[in-house]
Amino acid sequence: MNEAAKIVLDAFKEKFGDTKDVRVFFAPGRVNLIGEHTDYNGGHVFPCAISLGTYAAARKRDDRVIRFYSVNVNRKGVVTTSLDDLVPSDEAGWTNYPKGVVWAFEKRGCKLPSGFDMVIWGDIPAGSGLSSSASLEVLTGYMLRDFYGFSDLTNIDLALIGQYSENEFNGMHCGIMDQFASAMGKEENAIFLDTNTMEYEYAPIMLEGKKLVVTNTNKKHSLVDSEYNLRREQCGRALKDLQKKLDIRTLGDLDIETYEANKDLIEDEVCRRRAKHAVYENQRTIRAVKALKDGDIAEFGKLMNESHVSLRDDYETSCPEADILAEEAWKMPGVIGSRITGGGFGGCTVSIVEDTAVSAFCEKIGKIYEEKVGYPASFYMLEIGSGPKAIDVQE
C-alpha cells in the first residue's frame, strides 16, 4: 500500500478505533515557476502541482460532529467541532482550514447532512511557501464532494471554494493560484492561467537534462499574511489612481508602455513600485511561457531572474535569505534561472539547473548559505505531480 496512505490509516485506527469504510484522499502542493503576486491583479501565473502534498483518511459520521487529527501537528490531539459551530478561532489552529471549506460549501448551498472524522498527514515542509494550506483546502473539498455527492462541482469550483474559505474564513486575501494549481495539476505540465478570464492551458515542462530544484530558506517567518494583505491593498490604491484616467479593470489590463506613460497618476511612490511589479511581472510571465514554447529555456531562466529582482526591489516580498540563495545561484555555471517562489518573506527559491551542475549547486549554495545565515537551507528535487485523487487502499 502507498506509504502515506498507511500513515493516515494507522493514525485513523489509533484515534478513531477502526478503519471500516474509511476512504483515503490526496491533494498536491504547488510551486510557481513565474508570475508572482499577479493573481490578485488580474494577471497571468505559471505554477505546477508537485508530488508533495496532503493526505487524508476520512469517514462520514451519522451525527453532526466533526473530528480532526493531524499526524504532523499531533501535539494538538483530536480537535472536535460540529456542523453547528463553523466559526474560526485561534484554538482551532490548523483545523480552521478544513473547517473553513465546510463553511464555504454550506455558504454555496452545499449543506452537509452529517459530519465526518478526518486524519491528515502531509509531506510539504511547514512554512515553505509550497502551499500546504491550499492543498489541505482542495483535499477537504475533494473529500466533501465525494462523500456527500456534490458531483456538479468541478475541480475549478473546488479551487474557488478553497480560495473563498481562505479569504473569508481565515482572513488571508490570497488570489486563486495556489488552489487552482492544486486542484488542476497535471503531471509534467505547468498551468498557464489568466486570472482575469480564468482561461488556462497546460504547458509541458520538458526539462531535458535539467532539474527543478527547490531550496528552502528554512526561515521562520511571521507577518506573512498581514504583509501580503498590505501588498494587495497597495495594488488596489494604485489601480484606483490609474482608473482616474484609464479604462481598466485590473493592473493586468496594462501593457508596459501604457503603464509607463501613466504611472505618474499613482500618487504614492510605494504604490507605484507595487504596480510596476504587477504590470511587468504579468508581461514577463506571458513572454516566459512563449519562450518555453519556442524551446528557449535560456530566455525563460533570464525572466525568472528578472522576476526575483522585481520582487526584491519593487514589490519587497523577498527577504535577505532568499536573496542570498538566488543571487548565489545566478553566479553558478549550469544555473538557467533562479527566483523566490510563492507569497514571500521566507519560503523557497525555485531554480532550473543543468543535471551535471545539481550536486555542485546544492553543495556550494548550501555552504555559502549556512555561513552567511547561520543555519542550513534544504534542497528538494521536485517532480511535477497531478491534481487531487482518491487513493485505492486495496492497492
Which segment (56-64, 144-152, 172-180, 271-279) binds ligand GLA by CB under 6 A? 172-180
Nearer to ligand GLA, 5 or 181 (CB): 181
CB of 163 to ligand GLA, least distance (A): 8
The 56-95 site mask, x for binding ligand GLA (CB under 6 A), equals ----------------------------------------
Q: Is 253 in the site for ligand GLA (CB under 6 A)?
A: no
Contact between residue 184 and residue 160 where contact means Cβ atoms under 8 Å apart: no
Contact between residue 104 and residue 164 where contact means Cβ atoms under 8 Å apart: yes
CB of 77 to ligand GLA, least distance (A): 28
Q: Is 177 in the site for ligand GLA (CB under 6 A)?
A: yes
Task: Out of 175, 185, 301, 388, name the contact with ligand GLA by CB under 6 A.
Answer: 175
CB of 146 to ligand GLA, least distance (A): 25
The C-alpha cell 469504510 sits at: 21
Task: Out of 117, 137, 178, 306, name the contact with ligand GLA by CB under 6 A.
Answer: 178
Give catalytic status of residue 178 as yes or no: yes
CB of 336 to ligand GLA, least distance (A): 21
The 316-345 site mask, x for binding ligand GLA (CB under 6 A), equals --------------------------xx--
The CB-side HSE value for 212 (13 A sphere, CA atoms) comes to 24
Q: Is 174 in the site for ligand GLA (CB under 6 A)?
A: yes
Catalytic residue among 39, 117, 178, 241: 178
CA distances from 114 to 64, 84, 85, 147 (A): 5, 11, 13, 10
Q: Give the cell for residue 62.
A: 451519522
By CB under 6 A, what part of segment 4-63 binds ligand GLA? 32, 36-37, 39-40
The 194-223 site mask, x for binding ligand GLA (CB under 6 A), equals ------------------------------
Q: Is 314 in the site for ligand GLA (CB under 6 A)?
A: no
Which residues are catalytically annotated?
178
Residues forming the site for ligand GLA (CB under 6 A): 32, 36-37, 39-40, 174-175, 177-178, 342-343
